[in-house]
Structure 1
């Protein structure tokens, strides 16, 4: 078998680089989010749970756990904390036990965070709306596939 051609990028290397960049950019965006007394502070696990509650309103804790690929006990602890913070409500659901939904406070919190994130990214990306749209499309497709893989 001939040695790999250094002029041709290794697809696995590119995917690994994408994963590394996604994780680092996420960390940098969170680090640049201004500390706002009105925003409810969330742990990493609570953020992951809230993302899924927003994407899949009415999900059960087990469904959230599977989609997030988190231990059920960690999701339960995060839900208790989020409930105490006024971010989620849990209600009885026929056939599924408990349904988790975001509260109005969670919606306002997310709006504040999204405005801060946009303000943080705008200077870095300028007015290249097409590039931003392509990036959003790529990451949304990637997230959907990874979340779908967690359901089975």
Structure 2
């Protein structure tokens, strides 16, 4: 049996925190975390676990709309990135998403074959390739979001504060990525 995949692991509410009190610093000095900090650490660990589990439920959803082109989770990540960064190069995409360039190339080729991404030469340097999503990709993304909205609407009570949950997820998504050295 191998190691858990990155970001996955066995959940153990009694497991010690992954850091010691000396890792908490304020103005360069080690400080002992308050009980509230330990509670926050536990809550953040639980939040990460819940995000992973909910993401798996969403990814497992079988789309009802036959006009949605199926893509892998990695391809969906690439589509989102190219849509958010029109004209990005494959190398920048790979770096920013922390994937191997060979995996990025394979995923982008698949998206091209599906008609969801196009490549074009840079106007100033023909050696550089620029990536763009297609209109089909934009229409497909809109259809996916409609289905996801229906799915989540069925799962959540009307009293759920969706705006606050979205705000927390936006903060996490917009935070600088941790990079391995």
* 1:138 and 2:162 are equivalent in the alignment: no
Q: Which has the higher helix share?
A: 1
How far apart are 1:7 and its partner, in Å? 7.8
Instruction: Give the 5 Å matches for 1:87-98.
Output: 87-93=116-122, 94-95=124-125, 97-98=128-129
**Distance between the aligned counterparts of 1:141 and 1:30, measured in 2?**
22
* Structure whose alpha-carbon radius of gyration is higher: 2
Two-structure CA RMSD over aligned residues (Å): 2.5
**Distance between the aligned counterparts of 1:83 and 1:141, measured in 2?**
31
Asked if the contact 1:92/1:99 (under 8 Å) is kept, the reply is yes
1:58 to 87, 100, 105: 87
- Give structure 2 stretches of 5+ with no counterpart: 1-20, 22-31
Cα distance change on mapping 1:6 and 1:80 into 2, 3 Å: same
* 1:118 and 2:146 are equivalent in the alignment: no
- Give structure 1 stretches of 5+ with no counterpart: none
Residue of structure 1 equivalent to 2:130: 99
Greater alpha carbon shift after TM alignment, 83-92 vs 117-126: 117-126
Asked if the contact 1:88/1:100 (under 8 Å) is kept, the reply is yes
Cα distance change on mapping 1:89 and 1:136 into 2, 3 Å: same
Higher relative contact order (CA 8 A, sep 6+): 1
| Aligned length in residues | 147
Instruction: Give the 5 Å matches for 1:37-76.
Output: 37-76=66-105
Asked if the contact 1:33/1:116 (under 8 Å) is kept, the reply is no
Q: TM-score, normalised by structure 1?
A: 0.84
